[in-house]
Amino acid sequence: MKPTHPDYEVVIGLEVHCQLRVRTKLFTPAPVTYGAEPNTATLPVCLGLPGALPVLNGPAVELAVRAGLATHCTIQPRSIFARKNYFYPDLPKGYQISQFEEPLATGGYVDVPMEGEEEPLRVRLTRIHMEEDAGKSVHEAGLSETHVDLNRAGVPLIEIVSEPDIRSPEAATAYLRTLREIVRYIDASDADMEKGHFRCDVNVSLRPHGSSELGTRTELKNLNSFRFVEAAIRLEIDRQAKVLSEGGTIEQVTLGYDADRGRTFLMRGKEDSDDYRYFPDPDLVPLVLSEERIAEIRAALPELPEQKRARFTEEYGLPGDACAILTEKRGLADFFERAAAAAGDDAKPAAQTTANWMLRDVLAVLREDDVEVQDGHLEPEGLGALIRMVEEGRVTARSARSLLPELIREGGDPERLVQERGLESVSDEGALEALVAQAIEANPKAVASYAEGDKKSLNFLMGQVMKASQGKADPGAVRKLLAAKLES
């Protein structure tokens, strides 16, 4: 693979904060909300009121364990919640509860499919730990004061920390996409980046090609779109390369990214973990998970995207890029398999035909409308039935295709629609023969040039027959009949 920078190897490690899909906060029954009136989703624990005691949210733990298992981590039988002390207006307790020395999950990996590469990129995970989110400082345009909204304070997060195994901006976003796909598959998170459910800190350093020592890193904080991640990394690579090539040294700092101006800016010098004075939270007992409990959670995991991709290749013989698209979202993958089952009795060819219809026709409409397949009106069995009609020659591919946008947007029974619209293809020998005879009689020139060896005239005549049938003639049957007539 071509190096990202001619003079330096780029080294990237990511810390991803992912909001767990639970109804209540990590240590109180206060609801997890989005867009609610400020400070209406809080209880004494979120406000840091003296004497309020935290109680751990069980379902949140289960989702965090799922995420650990789905990324091949070891789930620790015992983990510890610690206080990370710092002052911030949106952190009324004066500390955030996180896991530090003994995290929930350690040592996993994510295999990231890379465009144009045979082998996926394996990104090792250092750890996954649980923590609570902080509140939000709201700086309203035109107001000189800053407001604090504590609705987000205490919302359950996992932080997924990667080893510095990533070597390019594209690989960073490919990793993030894969990770997002995994947490969505296992229902651990909605991972909606616009809502801040999935955001990341990017650590970047450079080193000479061939060096095995890590260079000094900088950290780009809180990026919440794939586009920003790539753009910010590119800027940081250029900045560091310039400093190093001029003989300077990189300072370990924390940077922000200003998307409007398309540049990074210094937020603060880098703090060390010592600065946070971590210590075990005396209000919380260690989180202990029995082997049986972990096994139960593992048994309940759905098929993961990488497993599904492997199975689609194996079972249906689908090419890699088709598998990648069809398995990207669990809803789409399930839809595809149900449609394929209805499209034909022979699983492999039915799946291949269905994959073509999905990739070429169905996704085009979904993308145009920006909807997910499960939110459209098309039933997988309906698509399967339509494909079956095409395969059986009862309707032409062209007619079937013309019905798809309507079926997706408004729904309906394909069988009935085909009948109502009179789209049943003409495959009746007698009717086809009449059409063929008509075309031959009306186009003596084309017939003559075919006889003189211009085989392309057959296509012209085909076109005439199809036109006369209003696109309903079975093209295979027409070609056969025409060729036979012209040869005789």
Q: Which residues bind ligand ADP (CB under 6 A)?
A: 11-15, 161-164, 203-205, 214-215, 217, 219
Binding site partner of 13, from Mg ion, ligand ADP, none, Cβ cut-off 5-8 A by kind: ligand ADP
Q: Taking contact as CB under 5 A, which single stretch among the options 15-23, 326-334, 450-458, 461-469 is the one that binds Mg ion?
A: 15-23
Instruction: Kindly state the smallest distance separating residue 250's Cβ from ligand ADP, in Å.
Output: 10
| Secondary structure in 3-state letters for 424-464 | CCECCHHHHHHHHHHHHHHCHHHHHHHHCCCCCHHHHHHHH
Near Mg ion in 200-219, by CB under 5 A: 201
Question: Minimal distance in Å, beta carbon 271 to ligand ADP?
Answer: 8
Q: Report yes or no: 427 and 474 within 8 Å, Cβ to Cβ.
A: yes
Two tokens, residue 471? 């696109």
Closest CB to Mg ion among 15 and 163?
A: 15
| Closest CB 148 distance from Mg ion, rounded Å | 24
Calpha distance 52→45 (Å, rounded): 5
Q: Which residue is nearest to ligand ADP (CB)?
A: 13
> Could you say which of Mg ion, ligand ADP, none residue 162 binds, taking C-beta under 5 to 8 angstroms by partner kind?
ligand ADP
Cβ closest to ligand ADP, residue 168 vs residue 203 = 203
Q: Which does 164 bind (CB under 5 to 8 A by kind): ligand ADP, Mg ion, none?
A: ligand ADP
Distances (CA, A) of 434 to 67, 358, 426, 428, 474: 65, 36, 11, 10, 14
**Residue closer to ligand ADP (CB basis): 221 or 485:** 221
Task: Give CA–CA dist 480/131, Å, rounded.
Answer: 69
- CA–CA gap between residue 173 and residue 226 (Å, rounded): 6
- Cβ count within 10 A of residue 156: 26
Residue 335, beta-bridge partner list: none
Asked whether 427 and 479 are in contact (CB, 8 A), the reply is: no
- Quick one: 15 or 406, whose CB is closer to Mg ion? 15
Smallest separation (angstroms) from ligand ADP to the CB of 162: 5
Output 54 or 215, the one with its CB closest to ligand ADP: 215
304 in Cβ contact with 186 (< 8 Å): yes
Whole-angstrom CA distances from 61 to 128, 179, 188, 282 are 12, 19, 10, 19
The shares of helix, strand and coil residues in the chain, as percent rounded to the nearest 5, are 45, 20, 35
Integer Cα distance of 26 and 136 in angstroms: 17
- Residue whose CB is less far from ligand ADP, 170 or 413: 170
Shortest CB 404 distance to ligand ADP, Å: 45
Question: Residue 418 is inside which H or E element, if any?
Answer: helix 414-420
Q: Which stretch binds Mg ion (CB under 5 A): 2-10, 104-112, 198-206, 256-264?
A: 198-206
Q: Which listed range, 14-22, 82-90, 128-136, 190-198, lies at the site for Mg ion (CB under 5 A)?
A: 14-22
CB of 96 to ligand ADP, least distance (A): 12
CB of 388 to ligand ADP, least distance (A): 50
Taking the least distance from each CB to Mg ion, the nearer of 13 and 113 is 13
Q: Which is nearer to ligand ADP, 62 or 201 (CB)?
A: 201
Q: Which helix (H) or strand (E) holds 363?
A: helix 363-369
Site residues (vs Mg ion, CB under 5 A): 15, 201
